[in-house]
Amino acid sequence: MAYFASIFFSFFLQAASEKMERDEGLRTLECLRGRLLAERQASKTAKEDAELMGNKVIELEKKLKEETKVMNKAEKRLKLLRKKLESLKLVPSLEESEHPAAVSCVSSTSSSEKILFLHLKTPVLNQVQSMKIQRLMTQGQALQA
């Protein structure tokens, strides 16, 4: 009887051991499944984020192109207006600006705009003058648009 008991006990231990191995295998499998699902979700989220960023980059590139076109157009208009002002003797040439301090005030009417131009031969006031010209050009662009 002891022999049967030892065989039964051995069989019982083997069955319990196999069950524990199966349970451990199932736990490992469930753990791996969970990891896989988490990785899939993280990958999906990263892909969506990358797509959103890509769309934003495309949008910003379009805006940059538009701004570049506007800037180039404004630069062309600036050159045109400077040539116009120089031809009307409103903007002194570079040689005149090298002479000692002088004040000139000129008024002109061009395309229903009055340009009052004050030119003082000092660096600070030349900056103010440039800002006024830019403002007048901007107003002219707004009127033409």
pLDDT tens profile 88-135: 876 555 445 444 444 444 444 444 344 444 444 445 555 666 777 777
Task: Check whether residue 9 and residue 63 sit in a common domain.
Answer: yes
Q: Which of 50-59, 70-79, 89-98 has the least mean pLDDT?
A: 89-98
Identify the pLDDT of residue 101: 43
Task: Check whether residue 111 and residue 77 sit in a common domain.
Answer: no
144 vs 13: which has the higher pLDDT: 13
Phi/psi region, residue 2 (left: phi>0; alpha: psi -120 to 50; beta: rest), is: alpha
Note if the pTM is more than 0.85: no
Phi/psi region, residue 111 (left: phi>0; alpha: psi -120 to 50; beta: rest), is: left
Which of 68, 87, 106 is a domain's end point? Answer: 87
pLDDT above 70 coverage of the chain, percent: 59
The domain total for the chain is: 2
Task: Check whether residue 20 and residue 66 sit in a common domain.
Answer: yes
Task: Check whether residue 74 and residue 116 sit in a common domain.
Answer: no
Task: Check whether residue 142 and residue 127 sit in a common domain.
Answer: yes
Task: Check whether residue 8 and residue 64 sit in a common domain.
Answer: yes
Range of the domain at 21: 1-87
